[in-house]
Structure 1
């Protein structure tokens, strides 16, 4: 009598076996971690009609962007929690070294009062903008269809919080040096009412209400973040240097290093999306909706920068060139 064959047990990390090599640390700790994608009809393996399941089915599973294997996405930097903390520990040491060195040399006492007034209007309120970007990245982390996408969104969330805390620290320093400019007390009113910020406020607040994960990705990573990077980080950094504020220029440079990494994974994800038929039209359709809001945000902010030197057109041109480099039309 023939004995039935004994099923061979799966090897550790069997979902990576097709590569026929030992998985890297990145692959082991980053891939295929979302249990909510195992059963599309019941994302949480509970009642398929309870509200969280309905939300994921509507705004993730039914997203117009399609791909046969979202889990194939890989972060170009292969960042993991351990290496992210190592990298950003060094960045934080650098940033707080800047704070210490410029404080010791009496940096704030050398600033022109006219520039200090600009800082109260066009710099310290940016922590509200950073917070909305933090919330947007956190939502993308929750809704992305693959854990490798969620991971890079998580690091992007953490970077936005780091930017916020750097701005808050600098705001407190300015408040101690200039107690008559509303530093630390007047930013909310400026964020909600000042014309310099209303374009960005409309863009990011509407972006937070874009619940489809794909549209949210477009509004956040292809429109809002590039607009902020070019108009605020790059434009403000240049204006700061023109006005003797080397510290702010260096802080913006440090944040642009993070932004470059965000763009690398965004570019890789867009390239993956464009592999599937129909996705280019979907992406360009969303860009047609959101890009005008990004341009309006750049215009409103850049025209309030001193010594901008046609900063609005330069920023909009850089954003448009970035999206063209991705193979997108808007």
Structure 2
């Protein structure tokens, strides 16, 4: 007996949400379909008992005017699938780099001063990453507009991932568990880390998520990741330790990816008509950049003499100036 296999294509009754298609004038892609006009705007059940002046979802949690939040779209088009796909690829690449370095015993052969950098400078920064993660979670919780909220929460997930990657670097050393045990003490007590710790703790208690966004994503990140991680990689290559120091590339590559939504969001805020957003951004930038610069200089100046801290800091300052120009210059 012969069987004939046929294929029938059943056209769906609808291919997307009508209100998204009306806004875009075309069918939405998967990112747009799951992101646009999802923010709850009415029929709230109660006001927060801890803040009865606000609705549970409220635009006034920040002095920023987000305008139409769906005029901002993450240029990376991250939703659950694409985000996890991208991060899995980055994690696999980092694991491959670590394995290659381990194969050649790169970490064990590092000079003592660079081992100290990993143990006493980089590993304690996993606690800074935890703090930055909490800030971005707060932004996601109190922001208005799903495209803004999801970009912030993915950034928060990333900071948690960065903390885990720093822990994995510590475990490349024979006494890695001891390094991890000491990292909290270093973070709490080491003098060179205290300005950075004070900075993130001050940001954590802010009530305006817009100011938190500026302090972490528009000021601290542009200073820290290029100066510290890119800077250490560059310096390490110059010292002939490129194999081990190449494991720091993960953090700089992440920074470049994260800044895509950060700078796009800043551009959106500046485009909101009849708003005081530019003044807000300038004021917040002016308020937080001196503290961030002091914290990074203090940390970098405490690095071994074999590393050129001034050259490293210059990379961060250069990136910060890019953000400053985007906002519109100093007041």
Does TM, normalized by the shorter one, top 0.5? yes
Distance 1:109-1:68 versus aligned 2 partners, 3 A rule: closer
Worse overlay, 225-234 or 310-319: 310-319
The aligned residue for residue 143 of structure 2 is 144
Q: Distance in 1 between matches of 2:209 and 2:47?
A: 19
2:188–2:194 Cα contact (<8 Å) kept: yes
* Pairing 1:14–2:12 present: no
1:60–1:213 Cα contact (<8 Å) kept: no
Return 5+ residue gaps in structure 2 as ranges: 1-13
| Count of aligned pairs | 312
Worse overlay, 159-168 or 314-323: 314-323
1:13–1:28 Cα contact (<8 Å) kept: yes
Q: Distance in 1 between matches of 2:192 and 2:147?
A: 36
The aligned residue for residue 86 of structure 2 is 87
2:219–2:320 Cα contact (<8 Å) kept: no
Give runs of ≥4 in structure 1 deviating > 6 Å: none
2:132–2:216 Cα contact (<8 Å) kept: yes
Return 5+ residue gaps in structure 1 as ranges: 1-9
TM-score (norm 2): 0.86
Q: Distance in 2 between matches of 1:272 and 1:167?
A: 33
TM-score (norm 1): 0.86
Distance 1:51-1:309 versus aligned 2 partners, 3 A rule: closer
What value does the CA root-mean-square deviation take over the aligned residues? 2.4
The aligned residue for residue 323 of structure 2 is 323
Q: Distance in 2 between matches of 1:203 and 1:197?
A: 10
* Pairing 1:26–2:31 present: yes
1:111–1:244 Cα contact (<8 Å) kept: no
Q: Distance in 2 between matches of 1:138 and 1:189?
A: 25
Counterpart among 281, 284, 288 of residue 286 in structure 2: 288
Distance 1:248-1:289 versus aligned 2 partners, 3 A rule: farther
The aligned residue for residue 105 of structure 1 is 104
Counterpart mapping for 1:1-330 below 5 A: 12-16=16-20, 17-35=22-40, 38-39=41-42, 45-48=44-47, 50-51=49-50, 54=53, 60-174=59-173, 176=174, 182-276=178-272, 277-306=275-304, 307-311=307-311, 313-330=313-330
